Chains A and B, each alone.
Chain A
Amino acid sequence: MNIKFLKMSRKDKIILGFGYMLLGLFVLTIIYPLIFVVIASFMNPNVLNSHGISFNIKDWSLDGYRRVVENKMIGTGFLNSFLYSITFSILSVGVTLFAAYPLSKKDLVGRKFFNTFFVITMFFGGGLMPTYLLINKLHMINTIWAIILPNAVNVWNIILARTYYQSIPTELREASAVDGASEVLHFFRILMPVCKPIIAVLVLWQFVGMWNSYFDAMIYLEDSWRQPLQLVLRSILIQNTPDPGMIADIQSAAEMSKLAELLKYSTIVVSSLPLLVMYPFFQKYFDSGIMVGSIKG
Chain B
Amino acid sequence: MEKTTNKRNENTGLNYIKKNWQLYVVFMLPAFLLTFVFKYLPMGGILMAFKDYNPRLGILGSEWVGIKHFSRFISSPDFVNYLLNTLKLSVYGLLWGFPVPIILALLLNRIRSKNIKKNIQLVLYAPNFISVIVLCGMVFIFLSPIGPINKVLGTNINFMTMPEAFRSIYIASGIWQGAGWASIIYTAALSNASQELTEAAIIDGADVLRQIWHVDIPAIKSIIVIQFILQAGNIMSLGFEKAYALQTPMNISSSEILPTYVYKLGLQMGDYSFSTAVGLFNSIINVILLLVVNGIVKQLNEGEGL
Contacts and interface: CB of A to CB of B under 8 A. Distances in A.
A65 B10 CA distance: 68
Contacts of B286: 123-124
Interface in B34-86: 34-35, 37-46, 48, 59
Interface stretch (B87-95, B163-171, B187-195, B249-257): B187-195
Contacts of B20: 108, 183
B159 interface: no
Interface string A29-53: 1110110110000000000000010
Interface in A108-125: 108-110, 114, 117-118, 121, 123-125
B26 interface: yes
Contacts of B151: 52
B202 A237 contact: no
B22 A183 contact: yes
B283 interface: yes
Q: Interface residue tally of chain B, by bracket?
A: 35 or more
A61 interface: no
Which applies to chain B's interface (DSSP): helix, strand, loop or mixed?
Answer: helix
Given A129-B45, A213-B241, A26 B198 contact: no
A72 B111 CA distance: 47
Contacts of A194: none
Nearest to B245: A238
Interface string A1-39: 011111111011001100110110011011101101100
Interface of A: 2-9, 11-12, 15-16, 19-20, 22-23, 26-27, 29-31, 33-34, 36-37, 52, 95-96, 98-99, 101-102, 105, 107-110, 114, 117-118, 121, 123-134, 149-153, 158, 182-184, 187, 208, 211-215, 219, 230, 233-234, 236-238, 264-265, 268, 271-272, 275-276, 278-280, 283, 286-287, 290-291, 294-295, 297
Interface of B: 13, 16-17, 20, 22-24, 26-28, 30-32, 34-35, 37-46, 48, 59, 103-104, 107-108, 110-112, 118, 120-134, 136-138, 140-142, 148, 151, 176, 179-180, 184-185, 187-189, 191-192, 195, 198-199, 202, 207-209, 223, 226, 230, 233, 240-241, 244-245, 262-263, 266-267, 272, 275-276, 279-280, 282-283, 286-287, 290, 306
